[in-house]
Structure 1
Amino acid sequence: MDNRLNSSNILQLEAIYDSPVYVYPVFSILLITYLITIITNVGIIILIIMERSLQQPMYLLFCNLSFNDILGNTNIMPRILSDLLSNDRSISYVECVTQAFCNQTSSTAAHTILMIMAFDRYVAICNPLRYSSIMTTSMVLKLSAWAWGSALLTVSVLLGLTIRLKLCRSLIVNMYCDNASLFKLSCQDVTINNIYGLAFTMVLLTSSIGSIALTYFRIVTICVTRKNKELNSKALQTCTSHLLVYMIMLWTGFLGVIFHRIQIDSSYRKLSTMLFFIIPGNLNPIIYAMQTKELKTKMKKIFSVKVTQAQ
């Protein structure tokens, strides 16, 4: 096509379902899951901030994860909910790029944050006597800055390669904007985008899976060699929740990447792309609250006080 689009053009987002029969049930489900995500994650953050006993490196790092879940879901869910009740699914190019940037940053930061949390567990279990001197408040802040800074930098390059392209299409084949959907609007050669995108994904996944696998291998080795029941119990308690959260994020992410690159029924593809945000965002606070003794104790205490007052 000769008529090129520019940054002032309006793009169109794809509908979740073509049939109006599913609109209100899907809207209700998504609204409930979004509210649960926001309430539980905000509640966890407030609880950690208010309770001095919870202001430890592990929980401060978990605040990063909860904030990221809020960011990822808030970036796409309100827009999807609005589009479900409207026939106008238009979005400006600038708004679309912003949404894609936040979407990609949230996805990348989820990996870097969980890598740091794995390191924190490694130090706590394998070097307990040095834990307080290694995982200081300053160290936590530096690691958090690295998690978000590296995500912002790499995603900026990713989106920078995309916005340089001239567009010749206007339909985003997705319910929300992401990098892959954006550069597919171009009729130019996107080889560089594909190379960087694949390299970016491979480096992120390799470093993420590799570092966490190595960390857990070291933790298991220490637990086996020391044969300390208290140490093994602590490792099982704290590491199970972290590993479960990581596996959920990893597999929902894999589904999104795979379905984006193969020909599959549109409804399944759309559902898979939302799972990356919906499932981890809802399950992370529940998993950590149930598996982490300190959090569970504080939550029970709060609820018991409220029940007593109500009576």
Structure 2
Amino acid sequence: MENPYNTSSTLALQSFNIPPEGVIPAFLFASLSYLIIFFCNLILILTIVLHKNLHQPKHLFLLNLPVNDLIGSSAFFLQLIKEIVTDSRSMDHWACVAQAFFIHIYAAGTVLILTAMAYDRYVAICLPLKYNAIMTYAHVVRIISAVWVSCLLLIGVLFYLLLRLPRCRSKITQLYCDNPSLLSLVCANTAVNNIYGLGIVAFTQVLANGMILYTYLQILVACFLSKRSDTKAKALQTCATHLFVFLLLECLGLFTIISYRVRNLPQNFRKFLGSSTFIFPPTLNPIVYGLRTQEIRKHIWHFFRRAVTSSWCGMRVLRPSR
């Protein structure tokens, strides 16, 4: 008897409809975007890792954000660039599953890491005298470990529930692979998957929004009650930038979800909204959390100044004498 299920290892992808004359600009845009994200986040990681005076709780929390951004942007851009270069609209099933897994790790990780950073800012501003006693190295490691273990467990169970189901279709209707697109290939009852997926979204959103709303309200109250205007201004500036990044991420995610439910939107616009989550937050995070942080900015500036000075001195040594 013929097997009714499609067990092919190759999936058909829906890509941008790029005309031949637009291939090179698209390749340059995707490559340049990824290189900017990669090097900015890598510089932030190396700056924190290589300088012992930055091994403080707030910087240890911050270290996880560029690591997570590199996971998400690499999972998205490497496949996109490959599609543009090879003009391929197919993908191995397990490569699609791997991309979807890391994209969901990125999404969950961003929300939980920003939540942990909000908690750290709350303790620093509202309980400054107890900060060192509360935010010990061991406590910070426990929080960071809880973030990553939670991500791996939540997303691991999500994909276990997905991979147990048989496939009977092979066309991915989105620009990249994720759980909903892979679930659309299944010909079986997906009620458990849908309930669990909604449960993850509800859990992370309630936890993140509840924690961030509470902490930032407490921070605002503490700032307005403070008599030191410089402390108030610095705290408000820090919280405003952090809140901007979080709201940007939430809005992009909301717009992406809405775009897939509005049928008359242009396909390329829908795809751009879907990809914007992997472009804007990973690009802005190193600026907001790196260059706007005085200690990190000082080390980055010192590194580049030393590199330029060394290069200039090397050129003078190699320059032939008259």
TM-score bracket, shorter-length normalisation: over 0.9
- Which piece of structure 1 moves more, 261-270 or 54-63? 261-270
Residues 202-241 of structure 1 mapped to structure 2, 5 A cutoff: 202-241=202-241
Q: Which residue identity does 1:295 align to in structure 2? A: I
Which residue number in structure 2 is paired with residue 269 of structure 1? 270
In the alignment, what sits opposite 2:116? 116
Q: CA deviation at 1:260?
A: 2.8
Alpha-carbon distance in structure 2 between the residues aligned to 1:137 and 1:238: 23
Question: Would the aligned equivalents of 1:125 and 1:231 in 2 still touch at CA under 8 Å?
Answer: no
1:199 and 1:191, CA in 2 relative to 1: closer, same or farther beyond 3 A? Answer: same
User: Equivalent residue for 1:292?
Assistant: 293
Instruction: From the superposition, tell whether residues 226 and 58 of structure 1 become closer, same or farther in structure 2 (CA, over 3 Å).
Output: same
Structure 1: distance between partners of 2:248 and 2:159: 26
TM-aligned CA deviation for residue 18 of structure 1:
4.7
Residue 74 (structure 1) aligns with: 74
Q: Is the 8 A contact 2:223 2:236 kept in 1?
A: no
- State how far apart, in whole Å, the 1-side matches of 2:189 and 2:207 are: 29
SS of aligned partner of 2:109 = helix
Q: Distance in 2 between matches of 1:241 and 1:302?
A: 25
SS of residue matched to 2:11: strand
Instruction: Specify the SS of the correspondent of 1:71.
Output: helix
TM-score, normalising length: structure 1: 0.94
- Contact kept, 8 Å, 2:17 with 2:268, in 1: the verdict is yes
Moved more, 50-59 or 215-224: 50-59
Amino acid at match of 2:132: S
Helix, strand or coil at the partner of 2:298: helix
CA positional deviation for 1:44: 0.6
* Residue type at the aligned position of 1:36: I
Given that residues 256 and 273 in structure 1 are in contact (C-alpha distance below 8 angstroms), is that contact kept between their aligned partners in structure 2?
Answer: yes
Equivalence for 2:4: 3
Give distance in 1, aligned partners of 2:309 and 2:87. Answer: 49
1:69-148 correspondence runs (5 A): 69-148=69-148
Q: Secondary structure of 2:277's partner?
A: helix
Partner SS for 2:12: strand
Give structure 1 regions of 4+ aligned residues with deviation exceeding 6 angstroms. Answer: none
Aligned residue type for 2:53: S
Deviations 1:251-300 (A, max 9, x none): 22222222233323211111111111111111110112332121222222
- How many residues in Structure 1 have an aligned counterpart in Structure 2? 310
Mapped to 2, the partners of 1:305 and 1:145 lie a distance apart of 35
Letter in 2 for 1:235: A
Q: CA deviation at 1:220?
A: 0.5
**Pair 1:167–1:18, CA change in 2 (3 A):** farther
Identity across matched positions, percent: 35
Segment of structure 1 superposing worse, 159-168 or 101-110 = 159-168
- 1:123-175 per-residue CA deviation (whole Å, 9 max, x = no partner) reads 11011111112112211111111111111111122222222222111011122
State the alpha-carbon separation in 2 of the partners of residues 51 and 247 from structure 1: 31
Question: C-alpha displacement at 1:2, in angstroms?
Answer: 6.8
CA distance, structure 2, for counterparts of residue 139 and residue 245 of structure 1: 25
Counterpart residue number, 2:45: 45
Moved more, 107-116 or 229-238: 229-238
Match of 2:184 in 1: 184
Deviation string, structure 1 residues 10-58 (Cα, Å, up to 9, x no partner): 1111122253333221111111010011101010110111112211111
Q: Does the 8 Å contact 1:241/1:291 carry over to 2?
A: no
- On the 8 A contact 1:237/1:291 being kept in 2, the answer is no
Structure 2 residue matching 1:261: 3-state secondary structure: coil
Structural RMSD (CA) = 1.8
CA distance in 2, matches of 1:116, 1:109: 10
Match for residue 197 of structure 2? 197
In 1, distance between residues paired with 2:27 and 2:305? 34
What's 1:158 paired with?
158
Structure 1 gap ranges (5+): none
Q: Which amino acid aligns with 2:235?
A: A
